Amino acid sequence: MRSTVRDVREKAGDEPITMLTAYDAVTAEIVDEQGVDVILVGDSIGNTKLGHESTLPVTVDEMASATAAVSRATEDALVVADMPFLSYGHDEKESIENAGRMLKEAGAHAVKLESGPHTVELTERMSQLGIPVMAHLGLTPQRVNQLGYARQGTTEEAAAEMLDLAVAHEEAGAFSLVLEHVPANVAREVTEAVSMPTIGIGAGPHCDGQVLVVDDAVGLSSWTPSFVEEFGDVREAMADAVDGYREAVETGEFPAGEHSHVEDELDDIY
Ligand SMILES: Nc1nc(=O)c2c([nH]1)NC[C@@H]1CN(c3ccc(C(=O)N[C@@H](CCC(=O)O)C(=O)O)cc3)CN21
Ligand SMILES: CC(C)C(=O)C(=O)O
Ligand SMILES: [Mg+2]
């Protein structure tokens, strides 16, 4: 049965919540079939699929297209669309229209916003309108030009600010919170301070759930952050298959008789 935002919220403290990204239908189908609770259509599509060096160039149209593909292929998981850089936060009307597209056009069940003091009111407005919001604190890669990709919440002051923002977003109506690249003890403190589930990436074992970029988790990425564990080697499996194909064509082994068809009736003509 389809997961709902409420299921995700109620699961906190029970079994860990599992979340992976997906950006296309076949990957979403595999992730969904393996029982992962939440599929995030991440703006990490910029790095993983579109060949960009950061998530900043990703557009609302690109996110809507990927989210629609994922939604069409997903039966059980909750589908969350990541809102790309500058598609929210500067103008309330535009933010809500962009987020609304993910639900109305692309079949997402919720959106994720990289959070800060400027997203508290927006989170409240979206929640009131029926757009469930997943918040995101710690390393927020859309701020790469200010933060780099360094671990966040590493000073007493920064950790206290993260805690305050987590509480403020919960009060504003966020249903869940991603904590990225923060010390495990800070993530534990935040997890204890809020009742919404926290989902960690590089944030230690005390969160209510975990998320990874699917390409990193299956071993498809050529580079991964230090907090990643590769649970497979899809890149090598795919390279072997591509190499096998190239060699079979070059040596004339492919296509063989079983891959082709001779039309007998045309035999005396051709
Ligand atoms: N494939 C992929 N996986 C991800 O997890 C991911 C993306 N892409 N793109 C968007 C962001 C960027 N992320 C990153 C990127 C780099 C580090 C990293 O290497 N951090 C260094 C410190 C770098 C610094 O200090 O500036 C580290 O050692 O932790 C962490 C998260 C996580 N996200
Ligand atoms: C890593 C997750 C949390 C994300 O925001 C993304 O994949 O874009
Ligand atoms: Mg993202």
Which pLDDT value is given to residue 3? Answer: 83
Which pLDDT value is given to residue 131? Answer: 98
Max intra-chain CA distance, the chain: 86
- Domain containing 45: what range? 5-232
- The answer to whether the annotation marks 114 as part of a ligand binding site is yes
What is the number of domains present in the chain?
2
Separation of 216 CA from ligand 2 center, angstroms? 11
Please state, in angstroms and as integers, the Cα–Cα distance from residue 14 to each residue in 48, 87, 193, 210, following that order. 32, 34, 17, 13
In terms of domains, do 80 and 132 share one? Answer: yes
DSSP bridge partners of 210: 18, 200
CB 90 within 8 A of CB 75: no
In terms of domains, do 255 and 157 share one? Answer: no
* 234 vs 226: CA distance, rounded Å: 19
In terms of domains, do 179 and 87 share one? Answer: yes
In terms of domains, do 160 and 242 share one? Answer: no
CB 64 within 8 A of CB 39: no
Residue ranges lining ligand 1, Cβ < 6 Å: 44, 47-48, 55, 139, 141, 148-151, 181, 213, 215-216, 221, 225-226
In terms of domains, do 215 and 270 share one? Answer: no
Which pLDDT value is given to residue 169? Answer: 98
- Ligand 2 site-directed mutation target among 79, 152, 211, most atoms within 8 Å of CB: 211
Q: Which residue has the tokens 């229209």?
A: 97
Q: Show the tokens assigned to 219.
A: 């071993």
In terms of domains, do 192 and 258 share one? Answer: no
Which pLDDT value is given to residue 141? Answer: 98
In terms of domains, do 96 and 184 share one? Answer: yes
Q: By alpha-carbon position, which residue is closest to atom 4 of ligand 2?
A: 42
* Contacting residues for 179 by C-beta, under 8 A, at least 6 apart: 137, 138, 187, 190, 191, 198, 199, 200, 201, 203, 207
In terms of domains, do 249 and 225 share one? Answer: no
In terms of domains, do 169 and 42 share one? Answer: yes
Q: Which of 112, 8, 22 is nearest to 71 (CA)?
A: 22
* Contacting residues for 28 by C-beta, under 8 A, at least 6 apart: 22, 39, 69, 70, 71, 73, 74, 77
Q: What ipTM does this complex have? A: 0.97
Which pLDDT value is given to residue 268? Answer: 81
DSSP 117: G
In terms of domains, do 244 and 228 share one? Answer: no
pLDDT per residue, tens digit, the chain (270 aa), is 778 888 887 776 679 999 999 999 999 999 999 999 999 999 999 999 999 999 999 999 999 999 999 999 999 999 999 999 999 999 999 999 999 999 999 999 999 999 999 999 999 999 999 999 999 999 999 999 999 999 999 999 999 999 999 999 999 999 999 999 999 999 999 999 999 999 999 999 999 999 999 999 999 999 999 999 999 999 999 999 999 999 999 999 999 989 999 888 888 888
In terms of domains, do 180 and 257 share one? Answer: no
- Ligand 1 site-directed mutation target among 19, 20, 40, 44, most atoms within 8 Å of CB: 44
User: Terminus-to-terminus CA distance in the chain, angstroms?
Assistant: 56
In terms of domains, do 245 and 119 share one? Answer: no
Which pLDDT value is given to residue 13? Answer: 61
Which pLDDT value is given to residue 130? Answer: 98
Which pLDDT value is given to residue 12? Answer: 63
